[in-house]
Chain A
Amino acid sequence: MDRVDQRFEKIVQEYSEPLYWHIRRLVVSHEDAQDLLQDTLVTVYRKLWQLRDPSKEKAWLFRCATNVVNHFFRRKKRELGDRTLDEYLEQTLRDSEYVNYTEAAGVKLQKGLLTLTPQQRTVFTLRYYDELDYGEIARITGSKPETLKVSYHNAKEKLKKIIEEDE
C-alpha cells in the first residue's frame, strides 16, 4: 500500500462521519447523502495528490464535499422541472424514513435551515455544526471571511426568529 492509499484510508476512518453529516444537513435525504458521500470520497482519492499542506486537510475535504453537493443541486434543479429545490428538500424532510420526528427542536431547526439562502445554509452548517473557523469556511466557499460573518449572523438571526415564532 503506497502513501496515498494509507493517507486515504486514514481520511476515510476519520472524516467519513463528519463529511456525511455535513452533506446530510444540506441535502436532507439519507439516500442522496449516502451517494454524495461516496462521490466525495472517490473525488478525494483522485485529487489527494493536490493536497500538499496537511494543516488544510479538513477545509479541503469539506470543500470537496460542498462542491459535490452544489453539483448535485444544479443537476437536481434541472430534473425537478416545475418544482423548486426548496420544495423538494421540504418534502424530503417531511417524508424521510430516516428522520426522528420526535426530535421536535431538531426538525424545527432543520425546517428553518431550509428557509435560508443556499449560501447562508452552507455557512451556517459549516460554522455551527462542523465548527470550522471563518478562514477555513472562506477557503471552502471562496468568499471573504467578513462576508461570511455577515452571512452567518443573518442566518442565525433568521433561525432564532423562526424558532421563537413557533414557541
Chain B
Amino acid sequence: MSKNSSNPFTVPEGFFEEARSRAVAGASEVRRRRRNAGIALISGAAALAIVVAAGTMMRSRTAARLYDESAGWLASAEYDVFLANELIYENGMDY
C-alpha cells in the first residue's frame, strides 16, 4: 500500500482558498451573533430592572395611600361613632 499513490480524490481548483475564506467568514458570523445576543441580554436585564423598579414604586405609593386613608378614617368623627356603637353593642355601655 503506497500512501503517495493512494489518494484517488480530487477537489475543484481554488477550493482550499475558498474554504479558508468561508471559515473566517463563518467565525465573523459567530462573533456577530454573540455580540447581538450580548446586547439582547443586557437590554433584557435593563428592561426587567425598570419593570421591577416601577412595580416597587407603585407598591410603595399604594401602601402610602392605604395608610393615609386608614389614618384619615381612624382620625375621623365617623370612627368615634363607630367605636361607640361597637362598645354599646358588645358591652351594653352607654356613653
Contact = CB atoms under 8 A, between A and B. Distances in A.
Q: A and B from one assembly?
A: yes
Interface of A: 5, 8-9, 12-13, 16-17, 20-21, 24-25, 30, 34, 37-38, 41-42, 45-46, 98-101, 103, 105-107, 109-110, 128-129, 159-160, 163
A12 B20 contact: yes
Main secondary structure of the interface of A (DSSP, over half): helix
Contact of B1 (A13, A45, A109): A109
A42 B1 contact: no
Nearest to B9: A24
A38 B8 contact: no
A160 B1 contact: yes
Nearest to A9: B24
Given A30-B9, A106-B8, A159-B1, A38 B22 contact: yes
A110 B26 contact: no
Contacts of A9: 24
Interface stretch (B10-18, B47-55, B60-68, B78-86): B10-18
Contacts of B7: 21, 103, 106
A16 B16 contact: yes
B8 A101 contact: yes
A136 to B, nearest CB: 18
A106 to B, nearest CB: 3
A103 B2 CA distance: 12
B5 interface: yes
Contact of B9 (A99, A160, A163): A99
